[in-house]
Amino acid sequence: MSCIKKIVLLFILILNFNSAYAFINEKISFTSFHLNKYEITIREFKEYALKNNIVTEAEKTGGGYEWGAGWEKRANWNYLTPYGNKPDDELEPAVHISRFEAEDYCKYHGGRLPTFEEWKKAAYTQQFKSDLFEVGKTYKYPSGDTAINMNSQGILNYDRHVSVISLPEGINGLVAMGGNVWEWIDDQEKGNSLTAGASWWYGASKTKKEGAQFKPSNFYAIYVGFRCAFDNN
């Protein structure tokens, strides 16, 4: 490899490192609330857990769940080791987190889980001036009229969740409102809580608002993460 190529490669590595190290989960402002730009990451949840001596249920019980022949418990799968090993990147979404654990995280940071009405407004209706999307228009997918640029089967096909900063922005500048991981929503029904956006395991159809589905509120699995909403004061 030539000296110039080595210098260019080093420069790219430094830029990527600095970008990840300086990661801030921006709060995007809507009319009456703010919403995290990205799904809450391993790094963010780890910092919170260390400060507050939090041990998640997945850690306490020896692992989280993956779909196999039904829901199967996987040893040592938790938010720190989502697939049983150290993650490739701590900017991957925090998974194996129950609705209650996600809610506690948001409350600690002065927020809460978004309602489905808020989540739909943010995910499908463009609120701001944009070069890509029409203000006031409600789209079919969080990526627009067509299912593109989402970590879903048949589109990006990562076959697992990935770092939130590796995915492109969608409607309202939000990232991974469709695909990557399901997100806990505040709406509840008989011990179940709504999840929206679908995970990498599903095709694009589940990323539409009609694809939202209830899961037991105390459930935790490789496919489910969250982001927080904040009231405007």
Tens-place pLDDT, residues 42-60? 999 999 999 999 999 999 9
What's the pLDDT at 225? 98
- The band of 22, judged by pLDDT with boundaries at 50, 70 and 90, is confident
For 128, the token pair is 């701001």
What's the pLDDT at 5? 40
- The band of 232, judged by pLDDT with boundaries at 50, 70 and 90, is confident
Instruction: Confirm if 63 and 135 have CB atoms less than 8 A apart.
Output: no
- The band of 13, judged by pLDDT with boundaries at 50, 70 and 90, is very low
What's the pLDDT at 14? 44
All structural domains of the chain with their residue ranges: 26-231
CA angle 186, 192, 193 (to 5 degrees): 20
- Strand boundaries in 1-119, DSSP class E: 27-29, 33-36, 63-68, 70-75
Please state the rounded mean pLDDT for residues 186-206: 97
**CATH number attached to the domain at 26-231:** 3.90.1580.10
Q: In this prediction, what percent of the chain has a pLDDT beyond 90?
A: 89
Instruction: Confirm if 197 and 207 have CB atoms less than 8 A apart.
Output: yes
Q: Which residue has the tokens 């489910």?
A: 224
Q: pLDDT digit string (tens) for 67-123?
A: 999 999 999 999 999 999 999 999 999 999 999 999 999 999 999 999 999 999 999
6, pLDDT greater than 50: no
